[in-house]
Amino acid sequence: MTSPRHVRRTPAGAAAAQAIPVPVLRRMPGYLQALRQFRTEGLEWVSCTRLAGRLGLDPALARKDFTALDITGKPKTGFPVTGLIRAIESCLGWDNVRDAFLVGAGSLGRALLGYRGFREHGLNIVAAFDTDPGKIGSSLHGTQVLPLSKLAGLARRMRVAIGIIATPAAAAQEVADLMVAGGLRAIWNFAPTSLSIPPEVLVENEDLSRTLAVLSQRLQARRALELEENG
């Protein structure tokens, strides 16, 4: 009934279709956040005009982004808030919880372990690993810290698919190798270093310095401009 010759990208759709572009995926959490806010405000339907407006995006962009989802809007009305939330969650795989291992129980690792927001993103950290004997055996936010040597074995036994690296950069490659050996399928790397990983394992680098680079360069550029203009 809806979108007849429209190519589906959802898991249900056959033949891989087309990969959803990275920029589209990166906007999805923003939509989700705004939609949840609208929902708490009691809104049941929302237009792309309003949704995109809140996020400072072009309405047409939102509409285009949503063609990657299994949902269509209604003219004059827009999209059902709850339905759109569900569609985005389903697209991202956030409707099912997936277990993850975290390596590096330092200050960043502890923050990640204690972060409750990951539940809403389908991520459940089930164990932490470290090499520091002082940390092994302790429990952080209810999660056990285990010796790194147990990682590969446990990963296979527990069929864990996601690994999070929060060790110093110098240790990251070694940890990544263990993760690959343990059969993990995806690595979320917080260490500021580029990893060598076989192509069958997905890697995403969360490098804070990338954002900082944009911020500080722009700030510096503005300063230079002001100095030039005013004096």
Contact residues toward DNA (CB under 7 A) are 2-3, 6, 21-24, 47-50, 57-61, 63-64, 66-67, 72-79
Task: Note whether 204 binds ligand NAD by CB under 6 A.
Answer: no
Nearest distance from C-beta of residue 48 to DNA, angstroms: 4
User: What would the two tokens of residue 104 be?
Assistant: 């590096």
Query: Which residues ranging from 18 to 57 are in contact with its own copies (CB under 8 A)?
Result: 19-20, 22, 25-26, 28-30, 33-34, 54-56
Task: Note whether 208 binds its own copies by CB under 8 A.
Answer: yes
The angle, 0 to 180 degrees and rounded to 10, between the axes of the packed helices 151-158 and 169-181 is 40
> Smaller CB distance to ligand NAD: residue 30 or 192?
192
Nearest distance from C-beta of residue 14 to its own copies, angstroms: 7
> Smaller CB distance to DNA: residue 77 or 138?
77
User: What would the two tokens of residue 93 be?
Assistant: 């795989």
DSSP string for residues in 114-166 = H-GGGGGGTEEEEEEEES-TTTTT-EETTEEEEEGGGHHHHHHHHT--EEEE-
Nearest distance from C-beta of residue 153 to its own copies, angstroms: 22
> Smaller CB distance to ligand NAD: residue 78 or 109?
109
> Smaller CB distance to ligand NAD: residue 2 or 40?
40
Residue found by looking up tokens 């164990």 in the block: 127
Residue found by looking up tokens 């009691």 in the block: 42
Which segments within the chain are labelled E, that is strand?
A: 45-46, 79-80, 98-103, 123-130, 139-140, 143-147, 162-165, 186-189, 202-205
From residue 17, how far is each of 2, 4, 175, 208 by CA, in Å? 18, 15, 34, 33
For ligand NAD, the binding residues (CB under 6 A) are 103-109, 111-112, 114-115, 117, 129-132, 135, 148, 166-169, 171, 174-175, 190-192, 208
